[in-house]
């Protein structure tokens, strides 16, 4: 850790938003905390799994990696394009991650967009996972660190995604209430404006987003209300030693 | 040209927005017309140059390429980070491209973001250059083709840029008034919403954008009002045989 750089960062920390994993190299900052968001549904599912007592989640990028873990006896959650892969134990719906199924277990997890985003950001100071369901806890934690923040939207196959952006805007709004923070990042300003449009009726505003249509088409849209419900938990998944664990866990 | 695919495209054409050249592979569609926008200042400058009688503009990606053309006697416009490069004849300000300087000439042009975006899209059906100053002409042309449309924002070093996005939103608004067109593209929807926020006072809304600050810092912000003025010309630069020429030019 460079103490001087850290000090500068604490004095005038910044918040930025990156709209796609493929843009991340243009935003990378080794001193920053990266918040990965993939609201529909990976980041909401990951927070839910830890909330319901999973020991940890091992995000893997490829289906092959997920299969190898499966053959070693791990519980595996894996989907592509929203659909559970045949060999997997669990899909991508937060409703899959019930205490009965996952309490005390390590879960290997591979998704279309979310897990790649986590790996993309691993050279940052810290990577955490954000969702509406842990919004308040995430913002309190970020603000308390006083560090630079990058919100990395998982998007959809490297494309921009409205629901992740609106969630990013909700974080930007909260963080900029902490007067130490500022932004000169056009995407943070755009996310904030879009969040302010969405805020009075988030569910209604996001009716138009592409992922809403994909989930509806595949009859996977039962999770929408849940994923847009703020502050169900204080759990914050943090990426540590290749696994996501609750940031409050002591070991 | 695949006649069948073309027919399908004409029946239900779509408009999409790509926020950064680095995201373009996720949006690429060989049947689409790509509109490259880099409002502050490259696309405004390119339109201005053709409006003021330049014969053509040869966009080159690297400084080395620009230098080689210069040594062959070409008139060269080249900048990086907004600043004219020493060896170049012209910088990036539309005000450089006066009739006296450029009428009847071929201009070699290399910029931080805009020329790369043009090259990135060259496998599309057609690449044109859009700006506020040719907004109406661009929209009329696009709508008349009935083709799929991708608006490619040049952005800033692969980052998202608010002024290009707002311009993209203005095109989306106009194109969706043509009831044949639709979109299921989250970034087109976001651009449209941001344009509708900006529309009552574009200049005021874009005061906050990062490029505004960069130009102010380098005392290059005298072009802002000009670049945000709609419909000064009917000129539409089209990329043909490695050069940008006015689409109405017959040879």
DSSP string of chain A, one letter each residue: --HHHHHHHHHS-BEEEES-GGGGGGT--TTSEEEEE-TTTHHHHHHHHHHTT-SEEEE-SSHHHHHHHHHTT-EEEEEETTEEPTT-SB-S-GGG--HHHHTT-EEEEE-SSHHHHHHHTTTSSEEEEE-GGGHHHHHHHHHHHT--EEEEE--BTTB--HHHHHHHHHHHHHHHTSTT-B---HHHHHHHHHHHHHGGGHHHHGGGSHHHHHHHHTT-GGGHHHHT---S----EEEETTEEEETT---
Euclidean distance between the first and the last CA atom of chain B, given in angstroms as a whole number? 22
CB B214 within 8 A of CB B221: no
| Mutation target among B112, B162, B182, B190 for the A interface, most CBs of A within 10 A | B190
Chain A: closest CA distance from residue B24 (Å): 9
Residues of A within 8 A of B26 (CB-CB) are: 20, 22, 157-159
Torsions phi, psi for A158 (to 5 deg): 70, 5
Q: Between β-strands B75-80 and B237-240, what pairing exists: parallel, antiparallel or unpaired?
A: unpaired
Q: Report the chain B residue with the minimal C-alpha distance to residue A211.
A: B186
**Structure token digits, residue B43:** 């696309």
Q: A26 in contact with B at a CB cutoff of 8 Å?
A: yes
Q: Helices A162-176 and A210-217, interaxial angle, to 10°?
A: 130
Q: Is B94 helix (H, G, I), strand (E, B) or coil?
A: helix
Q: Is B152 helix (H, G, I), strand (E, B) or coil?
A: strand
Q: What pLDDT is stored for residue A219 in this prediction?
A: 85
pLDDT at B136: 98
The single residue listed with the structure tokens 């707002």 is B166
| CA atoms of B70 and B87, how far apart (whole Å) | 8
> What are the distances in angstroms from CA A76 to CA A81, A107, A236, B85?
17, 6, 21, 55
Nearest to A174 by CA among A188, A187, A158, A156: A188
User: Which of A26, A162, A185 comes nearest B190 by C-beta?
Assistant: A162
Structural domains in chain A?
Answer: 16-246 (3.90.1560.10)
Residues from chain A contacting residue B211 (CB–CB below 8 Å): 186
Nearest to A130 by CA among A103, A159, A97, A154: A154
pLDDT band at A8 (very low <50, low <70, confident <90, very high): very low
Give the pLDDT mean for A69-84. 93
As a whole number of Å, the CA-based R_g of chain A is 17
A210 at B interface, C-beta within 8 A: yes
Q: Select from B186, B197, B209 the Cβ nearest to the Cβ of A160.
A: B186
Burial of A45 (0-12, 13-18, 19+ CB in 10 A): buried
- pLDDT tens-digit readout, B104-116: 999 999 998 988 8
How many CB atoms neighbour CB A140 within 10 A? 13
Report residue B106 as tokens. 């071929």
ipTM for the predicted complex: 0.93
Please compute the mean of the pLDDT values over residues B193-200 and round it to a whole number: 98
User: Which of the residues A156, A176, A186, A204 would you substitute to probe the B interface, choosing the one with the greatest number of B C-beta atoms within 10 Å?
Assistant: A186
Residue A2, pLDDT > 60, answer: no
The per-residue pLDDT for range B85-99, each reduced to its tens digit, is 999 999 999 999 999
Residue bearing the bigger pLDDT, A137 or A8: A137
Helix (H, G, I), strand (E, B) or coil at B64: helix
Dihedral in degrees, nearest 10, Cα atoms A176, A177, A181, A187: 0
What whole-number distance in Å separates Cα of residue A211 and Cα of residue A192? 20
Q: Dump strand ranges (E) for B100-208.
A: 106-110, 126-130, 149-153
Cβ within 8 Å, pair B160-A25: no
The pLDDT score that the predictor gives to residue A251 is: 56
Give the ranges where B52-124 is alpha helix by DSSP (H).
Answer: 63-71, 99-102, 114-120
Task: Kindly provide the residue ranges of all beta strands, DSSP E only, lying in B101-211, ordered along the sequence.
Answer: 106-110, 126-130, 149-153
* pLDDT above 70 for A187: yes
- Segment B156-161 shows an average pLDDT of 96
Which chain B residues are Cβ-neighbours of A197 within 8 angstroms? 193, 197
Hey, is the C-beta of B213 within 8 angstroms of any chain A C-beta?
A: yes
Q: Identify the pLDDT of residue B85.
A: 94
CB pairs under 8 A between A and B: 86
pLDDT digit string, tens, across residues B204-242:
999 989 888 888 888 888 899 999 999 999 999 999 999
**B17 strand-pairing partners:** B151
Measured in angstroms, the CA of B146 and the nearest CA of chain A are apart by 23
Mean pLDDT of A125-146: 98
Structure confidence at residue B29 (pLDDT): 97
Q: Which pLDDT value is given to residue B6?
A: 44
The DSSP element (H or E) to which B135 belongs, if any, is helix B135-145
Task: Report the relative pairing of strands B75-80 and B106-110 from DSSP bridges.
Answer: parallel
| CA-CA-CA-CA torsion sign (A88, A93, A95, A97) | positive
Identify whether the C-beta of residue B135 lies closer than 8 Å to the C-beta of residue B166: no
Supply the DSSP symbol for B244.
Answer: E
Residue B86: count of CB within 10 angstroms of its CB: 6
B157 touches chain A (CB under 8 A): yes
Task: Please report residues of B whose CB lies closer than 8 A to that of A26.
Answer: 20, 22, 157-159
The percentage of chain A sitting over the pLDDT mark of 90, rounded to a whole number, equals 84
**Is the CB of A165 inside 8 Å of chain B's CB atoms?**
yes
Q: Find the range with the poorest average confidence among A55-64, A169-178, B209-218.
A: B209-218
Using a CB–CB cutoff of 8 Å, tell me whether B201 touches chain A: no
Q: Say yes or no to pLDDT of A6 above 50.
A: no
Comparing C-alpha atoms, which of B192, B156, B157, B154 is closest to residue B171? Answer: B192
Burial of A1 from C-beta contacts in 10 A (0-12 / 13-18 / 19+): exposed
Q: A158 touching B, CB under 8 A?
A: yes
pLDDT recorded at residue B1: 37
Mean pLDDT, residues A180-195 taken together? 97
For B1-32, how does the pLDDT look when each residue is reduced to its tens digit (9 = 90+)? 333 444 444 579 999 999 999 999 999 999 99
Over residues B103-150, the pLDDT tens digits come to 999 999 999 898 889 999 999 999 999 999 999 999 999 999 999 999
CA B232 to CA A216: how far, in whole Å? 45
């Amino acid at each position: 850790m460079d103490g001087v750089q850290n000090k500068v960062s604490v004095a005038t920390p910044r918040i930025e938003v990156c709209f796609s994993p493929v843009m991340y190299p243009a935003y990378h900052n080794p001193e920053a905390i990266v918040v990965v968001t993939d609201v529909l549904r990976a980041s909401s599912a990951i927070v839910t799994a830890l909330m319901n007592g999973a020991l940890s989640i091992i995000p893997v990028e490829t289906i092959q990696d997920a299969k190898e873990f499966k053959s070693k006896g791990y519980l595996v959650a894996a989907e592509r394009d929203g659909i559970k892969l045949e060999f997997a134990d669990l899909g991508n719906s937060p409703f899959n991650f019930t205490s009965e199924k996952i309490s005390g277990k390590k879960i290997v997890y591979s998704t279309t967009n979310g897990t790649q985003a986590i790996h993309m950001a691993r050279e940052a100071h810290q990577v955490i996972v954000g969702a509406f369901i842990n919004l308040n806890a995430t913002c309190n934690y970020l603000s308390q660190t006083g560090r630079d923040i990058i919100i990395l939207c998982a998007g959809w196959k490297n494309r921009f995604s409205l629901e992740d952006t609106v969630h990013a805007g909700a974080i930007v709004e909260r963080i900029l209430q902490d007067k130490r923070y500022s932004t000169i990042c056009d995407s943070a300003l755009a996310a904030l404006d879009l969040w302010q449009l969405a805020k009075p009726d988030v569910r209604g505003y996001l009716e138009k987003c592409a992922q809403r249509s994909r989930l509806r088409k595949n009859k996977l849209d039962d999770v929408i209300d849940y994923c847009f419900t703020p502050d169900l938990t204080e759990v914050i998944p943090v990426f540590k030693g290749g696994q996501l664990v609750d940031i409050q866990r002591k070991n």
